[in-house]
Amino acid sequence: MTVLVGYVPSALGEADLHAAIEQARFRNEPVLVLNTSRGDAYADPRLAQEADLDRVVRELVAAGVPHDVRQLMRGRDAVEEIEEIVEAEDVSLVVIGIRHRTPVGKLIMGSNAQEILLRVPCPVLAVKAD
């Protein structure tokens, strides 16, 4: 079993990572850190840079948690990537970040968090940044 965490380089991503580390310790499972981008924008703030991923690995090593870090840019959205990994691997928990959005914002832009909650068959832990 594995704890899968969707990571973005932000305060929300850090909160996700810390929650995933806590859950992995509690469950005695490894962490799979996933950072994704469609690759369709010149600059994607969700795409972690090498320094971001190095820091993530240092935190996981310091916490003593077995881990794998993947960065995918295959033209698919994060929901599709997470759903595929959950189906293909033995994922016990998905950790995702949520941020406050207005009802109109959710209607117009949709909600990746909601899609993940509805589509994956395992438990999902939704985390807010401090």
Enter the pTM of the model.
0.89
Identify the pLDDT of residue 109.
47
Q: Collect all residues with Cβ–Cβ distance below 8 Å to 124 and sequence separation of at least 6.
A: 93, 94, 95, 96, 116, 117
Give 86 or 47, the one with higher predicted confidence.
86
**Mean pLDDT score, 13-24:** 97
In the chain, % of residues over pLDDT 70: 89
Identify the pLDDT of residue 113.
85
Identify the pLDDT of residue 27.
97
Q: Report the interhelical angle of 112-119 vs 78-88 (nearest 10°).
A: 20
Separation CA 122–CA 64 (nearest Å): 25
Separation CA 12–CA 121 (nearest Å): 23
For residue 71, the cross-strand partners are: 35
**Contact (Cβ atoms closer than 8 angstroms) between residue 4 and residue 85:** yes
pLDDT exceeds cutoff 90 at 35: yes
Report the mean per-residue pLDDT for the chain.
Answer: 89
For residue 10, the cross-strand partners are: none
pLDDT exceeds cutoff 90 at 38: no
